[in-house]
A = this chain, B = another copy of it.
Amino acid sequence: MKIVKFGGSSLSSGVQIRKVFQIVKSDPERRIVVVSAPGKRFKGDVKITDLLLKLAEAILNEEKTAQIYEQIFLRYQAIGDFFKIPRSGIEQLKEHLYSVAQADYPSNDFFRAALSAQGENMSAHLITLIFKQLGLKARLLTPKEVGLTVSGEARKAQILPGSYAKIAKTKFTDNEVLIFPGFFGITKNGLINTFSRGGSDITGAILARGFGADLYENFTDVDSIYAVNPGLVADPAPIKEMTYNEMRELSYAGFAVFHDEAILPAIQGKIPICVKNTNRPEMPGTKIVPRDKVSHKNKITGIASSHHFQAIYLHRYLINREVGFTAKILKIMADLNISYEHMPSGIDDLTIILDKNQLTNGRKEKLTQRIKDEIQPDDLQWRNDYAIIMVVGEGLVNRVGAMADIVDPIRDAGISLTMVNQGSSEISIMLGVRPEDEQKAVKAIYNDHFENGHPKKELQIPRASFKSVSKSLIANFFV
């Protein structure tokens, strides 16, 4: 059984929803369909969720709302009309939305949560009607019915672990296709609460784990995840298959197909994930699977990069022999709610690499001052911005020549490295370069390992040898 999730662009219009219907109908294993709110139909279009949030603000500020309501309903009506759904169906949605908007909420944020969740809710209602109209045995299923219970602050919902057992008990009959609204769950008090990010991705991942699906299909508007950012390299190689950990390491430094945290429930349930394109469902997409399900191990699966980093460099004699020195610095960082990415240290030196987006509202100055006052380093310097490149592959590290494979093309491209980190993650190597060298460096590594949109042959290590390598690694290093 497959859980299928469709993003906003896949549900933005009648034409798109017809594709979705064909996809669902073509495979009887596609039993549970998680839907988003209608997204943009064209550049400059407005997403339903954004309209709903605008509506919430207008209501809170007691401003006029008629035009916003109109804009929302016209979107649903256009979709309904495309499939010749009786107007009474759309009227039901209207009544529903008015009643949600008029109810009482414990806070403004719970009001915003409830209203913004209606994009998915109304989508699910309408698509159930459409699928029935088109001849599928479709039924609406809701977070409340399956027991998708969440806790947490308003608009930062967290799944409650007990939910999975409840979801597993949900009954449905053969041939039935269930339509499920993404993006929200129900609190113990019966309130709607929305997830902070990843939206419907996380709902799909939760259901995949709860129902113990064979596959979680995530339909979006790209053919696959690529080995490198298409903005940096033209026509990059698609990734056919990768492990959960590869996905997570790549997401970390800039891959944005979906939010890595949003798929955690699927990872926890060991459910394979497939990213596919609604517009070209015949393309194989990208499969994301547990390590023991991968057919071969890539030396390099993907290369991600990001350039929003800065670093503090500290110098003090015998820094590495001084017990508690680093702890003091990290205490200061914790006090200021600043996390670090990486912290290379030498005999007299320590560098702390940070996401510079954290250094707003005078935090950079506060951090500098507190380190100066409390640590009294011999020297403290902020280093210029720089870029981090993550090279990721299950077969990358713990192998003769692993590092040489990466740094030789960097040298040949005439680029000097400001940082290299190998040793924690078993599947990635982290490099630092100047931001102006980022694209050139990524290209150099990519071109050395891929050609004509495919990995070079020697990049793949057959599964058989993978297993034996893996065993010896466990013996002396840990995998």
Hey, which bits of chain A sit against chain B, CB under 8 A?
Answer: 245, 248-249, 252, 261, 264, 313, 317-318, 320-324, 326-327, 330-331, 333-334, 337-351, 381, 383-384, 398-404, 407-408, 410-411, 414-426, 428-430, 432, 434, 476-478
Contact = CB atoms under 8 A, between A and B. Distances in A.
Binding site of A, secondary structure by majority: helix, strand, loop or mixed? mixed
A289 B96 CA distance: 81
Contacts of A400: 411, 414-416
A400 to B, nearest CB: 5
Contacts of A317: 264
Contacts of A415: 400
Contacts of A432: 423
Number of copies of this kind of chain in the complex: 2
A317 B415 CA distance: 33
Contacts of A402: 416-417
B320 A341 contact: yes
A61 to B, nearest CB: 34
Contacts of A423: 342, 344, 351, 418-421, 432
Contacts of A313: 424, 478
21 contacts: A252-B347, A261-B318, A313-B424, A320-B342, A323-B334, A327-B333, A327-B334, A341-B345, A342-B344, A344-B344, A345-B424, A348-B425, A349-B426, A398-B418, A400-B411, A403-B410, A417-B422, A419-B422, A420-B420, A420-B429, A434-B476
A478 B350 CA distance: 13
A333 B323 contact: yes
Contacts of A411: 400-401, 403-404
Given A327-B333, A404-B411, A428 B343 contact: no
Nearest to A348: B248
A380 to B, nearest CB: 10
A159 to B, nearest CB: 14
Contacts of A398: 416, 418
Contact of A347 (B248, B331, B349): B248
- Identify which of A326, A346, A348, A478 gathers the most chain B CB atoms within 10 Å of its CB: A346
A414 B399 CA distance: 9
Nearest to A253: B347
A421 B330 contact: no
A333 B320 CA distance: 13
A248 B320 CA distance: 12
A342 B420 CA distance: 13
Closest 8 CB pairs between A and B? A419-B423, A327-B330, A346-B425, A324-B334, A401-B411, A344-B423, A420-B422, A346-B424
Contacts of A426: 349
Contact of A417 (B330, B350, B403, B418): B403
A417 B64 CA distance: 66
Given A248-B347, A420-B403, A420-B421, A330 B339 contact: no
Given A248-B347, A320-B339, A344-B344, 9 more contacts: A264-B317, A326-B340, A326-B343, A327-B333, A327-B334, A348-B425, A400-B415, A403-B410, A403-B411
Nearest to A352: B424
